[in-house]
Amino acid sequence: MENDSTKTEVFSWIKSLLAVVVLVIVCRQFLFTPVTVNGGSMSPTFQDNDRVMVLKMSEIEHFDMIVFEAPTSSDKHIKRVIGMAGDTLKVMNDRLYINDALVEEPYLEENKASSPFALTEDFEVVVPEDCLFVMGDNRLSSGDSRLYGFVPKDNVFGEVKIRFYPLSGIGLPE
């Protein structure tokens, strides 16, 4: 009798562990995944080796931070969405205009304060269908759409939702 209850208990634990493993695999495959930031192109928002959680099922909007496969390599990049399909983007005198409306970029203030140079050179582009235009927050040191062009929406893994490492920086990114 005691042997049967032990077997039942062990079997119950095995079923529970398998259920947890399957749940983790499904969540990671379809809902969210952790990503490590490489480089300083998103500084000061993210630093090299920060760890973030990416939500795969998210509606991407202007200024969201996304993880995507770069058009020039299979590397995962983290950048901020500046333009969406159909947008006309213009930067003049370090100021961003989306569809002729001036847009404030508060996430650039720290970098602007510490640089004697303009962060973003002047340009004008129209974002094609099914594409995004992305830039890093550290504009002077960011390989982004200004360098490699538009990012196809199909290359997007998801939206950065939370930083979970380092512990001192846990929280929602701005």
Q: Is the pLDDT of residue 1 over 60?
A: no
Q: How confident is the model at residue 10 (pLDDT cuts 50, 70, 90)?
A: confident
| pLDDT attached to residue 17 | 85
Containing 113, the helix (H) or strand (E) segment is helix 109-113
Between 30 and 23, the higher pLDDT residue: 23
Which of helix, strand or coil describes residue 158? strand
Q: Is the pLDDT of residue 120 over 80?
A: yes
Tell me the pLDDT tens digit for each residue of 129-173: 999 999 999 999 999 999 999 999 999 999 999 999 998 888 888
Q: How far apart are CA 173 and CA 169, in angstroms?
A: 9
Residues with catalytic roles: 41, 79
Tell me the pLDDT tens digit for each residue of 39-84: 999 999 999 999 999 998 889 999 999 999 988 888 899 999 999 9
Q: How far apart are CA 61 and CA 132, in angstroms?
A: 10
Mean pLDDT of the chain: 90
Q: Is the pLDDT of residue 128 over 80?
A: yes
Q: How far apart are CA 171 and CA 165, in angstroms?
A: 9
- Delimit the domains of the chain by residue range: 1-30, 34-169
In the block, which residue shows the tokens 């701005």? 174
- DSSP class of residue 121? -
| pLDDT attached to residue 69 | 93
| pLDDT attached to residue 145 | 96
Between 29 and 34, the higher pLDDT residue: 34
Q: Which amino acid is at 79?
A: K
| pLDDT attached to residue 30 | 66
Architecture of the CATH domain 34-169: Ribbon (2.10)
Query: Global pTM?
Result: 0.84
